Structure 1
Amino acid sequence: MIRHLVLFKLNEGVERDDPRVLEGEKAFQSLPGTISEIRFWELGWNLSDRPIAYDYAINSGFDDVDALRRYVEHPEHQAGVTLWKEFATWVIADYEY
């Protein structure tokens, strides 16, 4: 299994209730029902107020590297990425577990 972690940082001046953020969050919430390669999916807003904390996280699982690749290339995933590029930056980590 492959774990795919994504941590998002909202751009300066962007708040959680920004309409773009709400649309981006909704796009990622819908992916498990759309992309069959997803085996595990959880996401949510960070609760920590520490300065080094990121704002939003996705923790997901896939059968193998090929399934992860298909997910990354899927048009619905790419549509969500396009939305998030407008208001956030992110880091990822992919590892076997």
Structure 2
Amino acid sequence: MITHIVFFKLKDRSKASVDATAAVLRNLEGKIDVLRYIEVGTDVLHSERSYDIALVTRFDSLADLDAYQVHPEHKKVIEHMSQVRESSVSVDYES
């Protein structure tokens, strides 16, 4: 199994903006057959080093992660995120 985690820092860090973007990410659930697990969390500490949203997804293989990356539903999310994110970091690992 491959776990893919992304942290997002948004340009607009207001609760309304964070909640709206988290909803966009959660909307992926059930729309991409290779996506085995999705969890979206929003930061509760709001510290200087905090990111606003965490996305945790799981796939059966690297090939499935690759298929997810180019899926039309994921591309819609990428388009949204490119408009609202200030920065992001990610890690992918075998689990």
Cα distance in 1 for residues equivalent to 2:29 and 2:15: 22
Matched residue SS, 1:32: coil
1:15 shift after superposition = 2.0
Name 1:34's counterpart in structure 2. Answer: 31
CA RMSD, 1 decimal: 1.7
Name 1:3's counterpart in structure 2. Answer: 3
CA deviation string 1:22-75 (max 9, x = no partner):
1x3333212121001111111110112221111101011100000000111101
Number of paired residues?
A: 94
Q: Does structure 1 conserve the Cα–Cα contact (< 8 Å) formed by 2:26 and 2:38?
A: no
Counterpart residue type for residue 59 of structure 1: V
TM-score for both structures, normalised by structure 2? 0.88
Cα distance in 1 for residues equivalent to 2:44 and 2:19: 17
- Percent of residue pairs identical: 30
Change beyond 3 A, Cα 1:27–1:54: same
Counterpart residue type for residue 78 of structure 2: V
- In structure 2, the gaps of 5 or more residues are none
- In structure 1, the gaps of 5 or more residues are none
